[in-house]
Amino acid sequence: MDLPFRMLAFDLDGTLLEKDGSLADESAAFLRELSERGVVVAAATGRRLWSALPKLRGAGLSGSCVVHNGALVADIGLAKTLCATPLTREEVAKLVARVEARRLGAVLFTDAPRGPREILHRHGGADPTGFLAWYARYAAGHLTALEGPLEADPAPPAGTAGESVMRVVAHGNESQMRALVAEVEAEDGSGVRGFVQREMAVPGFRAELLARGADKWRGIEWIARRASIAPAAIVAVGDEANDIEMLREAGHSLAAPGSSAPARAAAREIVEGDGPRALVAALRRVFASPVRGEDFGTRDC
């Protein structure tokens, strides 16, 4: 049966957000317009939940979103975890050891409630790119420097839930990051995956290390299955290495203006022009087109 595109999976930073991190009124209005037409609109971002929510709620969006580069799916209105694919404690310990053996600093992103311990790093740890110094200002109140072992707290005070690590991140130059990911995937690849991309906040690159089953596409697919939406009826937009799976697997995909070479290679269409405005114009055209696809059922997280 012929179906219109029924879902938009969109990245935030470098894609629909402006250079100052804001969501333009025109972009927000377009997302609401799609939602009102019955299209499922789902952000898929590398941001942690409490960094993504203000952008999404400010645009008047509801439903589900994918955060932590696919390691967590959450309800926007309730700020509630719906599906999570964390690293194990053993995997985290190995990853931290591998990062620090290279004289780099490891950063742990957790599913802790809003506030301290959302992001963990070692007090006095290496900061070759200046990312941690910048992040301490940007994420003040959400980042904790640990004096002891760099790990999540599995047994917090009574009445609160234990923490899980969604991803381990390191910063450095491109060759350092690619060597780190290659080592991790060679030694720990059965349970861990990694990718390298440009760091947007400071000069340099970042290596993202996640559980093998965590990526943006799997998070988007999880949401789509619950709405009985087939991959062929999904449009994805992104700009970086963390978007490659959804750009490759969605029924149609667009690489945003200024996208990296890997994202451009994975997308079915490359958009040029004035950032989010050019992208919104392209999406308006795409959502006027039909696609052939079939619905499918649901599955567990």
Are 204 and 221 contained in the same domain? no
The model carries a pTM of 0.92
pLDDT of residue 1: 32
Q: Residue 290: which pLDDT band, with cuts at 50, 70 and 90?
A: low
Q: 88, 220, 233, 216: which is closest to 152 by C-alpha?
A: 88
Quick one: pLDDT at residue 299? Answer: 46
% of the chain at pLDDT higher than 70: 92
Q: Read off the tokens for 140.
A: 């003040």
Q: What is the percent of the chain with per-residue pLDDT over 90, rounded to a whole number?
A: 84
**197 and 96 in one domain?**
yes
Asked if the model's pLDDT at residue 291 lies above 90, the reply is no
* Per-residue pLDDT tens digits for 174-186: 999 999 999 999 9
Residues 103 and 74 in one domain: no
Q: What is the mean pLDDT of residues 257-285?
A: 95
116: domain CATH number is 3.30.1240.10
In a shared domain, residues 80 and 93: no
Integer angstrom CA distances of residue 188 from 192, 212, 228: 6, 10, 34
Q: Which of 173, 189, 211 finishes a domain? A: 211
pLDDT of residue 251: 95
205 and 98 within one domain:
yes
Q: What pLDDT band is residue 298 in, cutting at 50, 70 and 90?
A: very low
Reported as a single tens digit per residue, the pLDDT across 212-244 is 999 999 999 999 999 999 999 999 999 999 999
* pLDDT, averaged across the chain: 91
- Give 273's DSSP letter: S
Looking at residues 198-215, what average pLDDT do you find?
94
189, 211, 233 — which closes off a domain? 211
Residue 44 and residue 66 in contact, taking contact as beta carbons nearer than 8 Å: yes
298 belongs to a structural domain: no
pLDDT at 6: 95
Residues 108 and 195 in one domain: yes
Whether 297 shows a pLDDT value over 80: the answer reads no
What pLDDT score does 157 carry?
59
Please give the tally of structural domains in the chain: 2
64 plus 160 within the same structural domain? no
What is the arithmetic mean of pLDDT over 2-8?
79
Q: What is the C-alpha separation between 6 and 35, in angstroms, rounded?
A: 10
The mean pLDDT value for 2-13 works out to 86
Residues 192, 99 share a domain? yes
For residue 299, being part of any structural domain is answered with no
The domain in which residue 193 lies consists of 89-211
> Domain for residue 300, yes or no?
no
SS (H, E, C) 243-254: HHHHHHHCCEEE
How many residues are given for the chain? 301
pLDDT of 155 over the 80 cut = no
Residues 207 and 96 grouped into a single domain: yes
Residues 67 and 105 in one domain: no
Of the candidates 183, 211, 239, which is a domain's last residue?
A: 211
Look up residue 268 and give its two tokens: 């079915």
**Span 104-119, pLDDT tens digits:** 999 999 999 889 999 9
Q: What pLDDT, on a 0 to 100 scale, did the predictor assign at position 286? A: 94
The domain that holds 27 is classified in CATH as 3.40.50.1000
pLDDT band at residue 293, thresholds of 50, 70 and 90? very low
Neighbouring residues of 110: CB distance < 8 A, sequence distance ≥ 6: 117, 118, 119, 120, 152, 163, 164, 165, 166
Q: Is residue 297 part of a domain?
A: no
40 pLDDT above the threshold of 50:
yes
For residue range 44-80, list pLDDT tens digits in order.
999 999 999 999 999 999 999 999 999 999 999 999 9
pLDDT for 188 equals 85
pLDDT given at position 300: 58
| One domain for residues 115 and 192 | yes
